[in-house]
Chains A and B, each alone.
Chain A
Amino acid sequence: MTIVTVVKQVPEAEARVRVVDGALDLAGVTFVLDGMDEYGVEQALRLREAGTASEVVVLGYGPRETERALRTALAMGADRAVLVVGDAFDDPLTVALALVEAVREAAAEMVFVGGKHADWDSAALGPALAEALGWPHVDWTTALRVEDGRFEAEHEIDDGSETLRGSLPVVITTQQGLAEPRYPTLPNIMKANRKPLEERSVEPRPKRSSARSYAALERQRRRVVIEGDARSAADELVRRLRDEAKVL
Chain B
Amino acid sequence: MILIVVEHAAGEPRRSALELVSVGRSLAQASGAPLAALVLAGAGTGGTGGALGAEAVAERMASFVPDVHVVEHEVLEPPRAETMTRALAHAATTLGASVLLLPASRLGLSCGPRVALRLGGSLLEDVTSVAFEDGAVVATRPAFLARVSVTVVAEAEPVVVSVELGAPPRASPLGGAGGVHRLEVPFEARDERLQSLSRRALAKERVALDEAEVVVCGGRGLGSAEAFERHVLRLAERLGAGVGATRAVVDVGWRSYAEQIGQTGTTVAPRLFVALGVSGAVQHVSGMNRSGVIVAVNTDADAPIFRISDYCVVGDVNEVVPALDEALAGIG
Which residues from chain A sit less than 8 Å from chain B, CB to CB?
10-11, 13-14, 16-17, 19, 24, 35-36, 91-93, 96-97, 115-116, 118-125, 127-128, 130-132, 136-140, 152, 156-167, 170, 175-177, 206-219, 221-227, 230-231, 233-235, 237-238, 240-242, 245, 247-248
Contacts and interface: CB of A to CB of B under 8 A. Distances in A.
Interface in B286-302: 286, 289-290, 292-295, 301
Interface in B172-206: 191-202, 206
A166 B195 contact: yes
Enumerate the 10 nearest inter-chain pairs by beta-carbon distance, A residue then B residue, closest first: A234-B323, A230-B319, A128-B113, A124-B113, A208-B122, A131-B114, A230-B323, A222-B310, A166-B194, A176-B264
A217 B146 contact: yes
Contacts of A223: 306-307, 309-310, 312
A210 B311 contact: no
A209 B90 CA distance: 22
B22 interface: no
Interface string B301-332: 10000111111111110011011101110110
B117 A158 contact: no
30 contacts: A13-B283, A93-B113, A118-B144, A119-B143, A121-B126, A121-B143, A124-B112, A124-B125, A127-B81, A127-B110, A128-B123, A131-B113, A131-B117, A162-B200, A166-B193, A208-B122, A211-B150, A212-B152, A213-B151, A214-B150, A216-B149, A217-B142, A217-B147, A218-B147, A221-B308, A223-B312, A225-B301, A234-B323, A238-B327, A247-B271
B154 interface: yes
B158 to A, nearest CB: 11
B281 A13 contact: yes
Contacts of B200: 160-162
Contacts of B316: 230
Interface of B: 7, 78, 81-82, 85, 105-107, 109-114, 116-118, 121-126, 138, 141-156, 191-202, 206-207, 214, 247, 257, 263-264, 271-272, 281-283, 286, 289-290, 292-295, 301, 306-316, 319-320, 322-324, 326-328, 330-331
A173 B316 CA distance: 40
Contacts of B289: 217-219
Nearest to B108: A158
Contact of B331 (A162, A240, A248): A248
Contacts of B295: 237, 241
B196 A164 contact: yes
B117 A11 contact: no
Given A92-B113, A131-B118, A227-B315, A234 B320 contact: yes
Nearest to B324: A234
A238 B331 contact: yes
Given A93-B117, A226-B311, 20 more contacts: A14-B282, A121-B142, A121-B145, A123-B125, A128-B113, A131-B118, A136-B82, A136-B193, A139-B110, A160-B200, A161-B202, A166-B193, A206-B156, A208-B155, A210-B155, A211-B150, A216-B148, A218-B147, A223-B306, A240-B311
A241 B311 contact: yes
A93 B123 contact: yes
Given A127-B112, A234-B327, A164 B197 contact: yes
Contact of A230 (B193, B286, B315): B315
Contacts of B324: 234, 237-238
B326 A234 contact: yes
Given A212-B151, A225-B314, A160 B105 contact: no
B197 A152 contact: yes
A170 B194 CA distance: 9
A151 to B, nearest CB: 10
B268 to A, nearest CB: 15
A91 B327 CA distance: 50
